Structure 1
Amino acid sequence: MQQQQLQQQLQQQKQHKQQQHQLKQRQERIQRRQQQSLPQAAAAAIPPTHTLHTRGGGEWDISDADIEEFYAELTTGGKGGDPPKESVVGGLIVKFFHGEFTPQGFKRYAGHWKGPPPGNIGKKDIAVGMDGLKVQMKNPMFVTKGGVGYGVDETLKAQGSEALTTPNNARQNFSVELRLVAMAPSANRMLVSAVLAAATYSASQLITVFVASPAAAAAIPPTHTLHTRGGGEWDISDADIEEFYAELTTGGKGGDPPKESVVGGLIVKFFHGEFTPQGFKRYAGHWKGPPPGNIGKKDIAVGMDGLKVQMKNPMFVTKGGVGYGVDETLKVVDDGKGWVWLAAEMSPGGLAIELFKSVPFGKRALLVAKQSDVDEMFSKVNWAVALGNIEKTFGGPLIKQR
């Protein structure tokens, strides 16, 4: 047994050295290319010793070839048309593009869903959302800055002809990119994140539209003790928690979330699998449906069982509590209030959900239950309220989603 472990360690060390060598070679190639590609204005703003890192060089660099490859993968083996009505991607498109785009913002459709069946989101509603998506991808009304590289200062990001160009295509800029970070069902597995993108090239624009992209929090002055602790408008009292719980459990019938819902998809993604001391192993088998091969009620039921077990006795708990924007070292695993929370936040792979035993300040709190009686919450939960909570920041500044 010890000999096998030793061999595994040696193999891992060998692979690590190979990866480091390959990464170093790639960084050198990219650095040579970047010396020719940075615009004069951007180059002047970036310290010369940090050019590669500032531009997101190395493993995070994206070339024209990478974009072409991404587009090729996206458009290979598909039949086009609208996404399935059961898919999370379809739900997101309806949520963010079925409505009216105005200079003041996006007004989400609040009428009666056409279905089928009427009253539920169906093919007809997705078709309307798809029409809205296509219009916005052709001529976006709301645009977020991007480009240049991963982790760059906001002031260096581009939103026009200032965009970074590459030496092999110096006159063409990546102009339209829409990313919907979500999950999508497939015949054999659930994609961790399904991304829709369309790319055209233009010499004048670089436009990036992100769905549900939270803004970065402002730095908190150390002298503002009350605000740092979540005081004032971000403070969460015991009464606030009780009110949140009451809203969540009023007007609902309990049970499992609808299979078309984003919440149901997230529960399957993060709780349908095996929890081990080494981490969570996501289920990778055949979805039971119905229909078989797609995520359905049977799969959501398994995910719900996993969620209930973990809420009663969490194996992995994220630190929280104290207040909004506090230093990570001040957060706690358990604030002693007796509540267990399921909260979401954006990650590089899309919405991620985590369990907390302390108030999840600044997160999107979806569910909360008394840890001593988790079943009570699930017997009364109103899933429409839980879905609405995705759009709200709990104990932090409100982040509007477009």
Structure 2
Amino acid sequence: MNITMIGTGYVGLVTGACLAEFGHRVTCMDLDVEKIESLKNGGIPIYEPGLDVLVAKNVKDGRLQFSTDMADCVPGAQAVFIAVGTPSSRRGGGYADLTYIYAAAKDIAVHLTDYTVVVDKSTVPVGTARQVRRVISEANPDADFDVVSNPEFLREGAAISDFMRPDRVVVGTDSEKAQEVMKKVYDPLFLISTPFVFTGLESAELIKYAANAFLAMKISFINEMATLCEEVGADVVDLAKGIGLDGRIGSKFLHPGPGYGGSCFPKDTLALLRIAQENGVSVRSVEAAVEINAAQKARMVKKIRDALGRNEAGKTIAALGLAFKPETDDLRESPPLAILPPLVEKGAKVRVHDPQAMEECKKQYPDFTYVDSPYEACEGADIVVLFTEWNQYRALDLAEMKSKMKGSVFVDLRNVYAPKQVIDAGFEYHGLGRM
């Protein structure tokens, strides 16, 4: 099949490369000339394990190409995916900014010739697919097309495996003809018996938000349980194992941390609340999750401040990890960047290390000191705080870290290390929900 991907951000580039790996002929289109030229020259604008190899392979094999011109890639495509950004609107209140969605729809409409399936891949509020249909019909009344909602469920850091072997594929459409086209798009997944959910447009759009909101609630729940464990002398690691072995609950997303971040959970929970409010529905569980997450980040500031004796002025913090999760360079809504600035405002100095996110962070926080290793971050530090559970932070030489530090405080905000292991290395230990 000939497939066009509008947008070469995280979702668009990963999806385009993976569809090319399926054997389709894919053109990834973007208005950003500099980005497209970089992609043509082998540059990858995001960090995602294995993506550079996958893109290079399919470009070499002639199945993947890049363009800045709709006229070059929309005519003749059986499916055109819209994978542009839908950030939170500047007006706040959880509204999603659909400017790029509707602009893409208008541009696509002009170039539609034969029957085409236009696929909403971006995360969008309920009702957007029908609005995209309206926008295209108004711009080109003679266009022969259908609109499909096909939400993505890609985890940053594991996106390629998630696409190639997904838990499920959701396709929302009211057209049997469009459904058949989507089956051809994902034919390799049918061969490995991937579960498919074919449903209406609105259900498909809501599934994405509901899934992310549920996972956000699990994170907020275990963070509250960690706080309770600290007060009653229980161990949250044992608690999570004890409840996670229940098949009805499951162990995933039951790991305490400094709060959720990233490109999805923060904006999608707020967007779901906005959708509910506009339809006169109260979703109190999601409201609570959002409030708990904000409070968790504030509580982490207090935890670090308390560990420093309530006086961070002149103290040096060794911060390990900047990205909101491992195997990504994404800093959007990243907990460290909500926790460290208030401490800096009170006079703390920050030495940071992250395997991938430092270059981008320098643009936002030039006053941090950026170093080449976690051990260098510890030089002269009063306290070390583990923010992101990168694999290379899981087997650190704690004794060497301690030898480089001025102080002896270790704050493990991901519970990577057993308390005894840290204490035996000469540290004062502070974790989440552990004594």
Task: Please give the TM-score of this superposition, normalised by the length of structure 1.
Answer: 0.24
Task: Please give the TM-score of this superposition, normalised by the length of structure 2.
Answer: 0.23
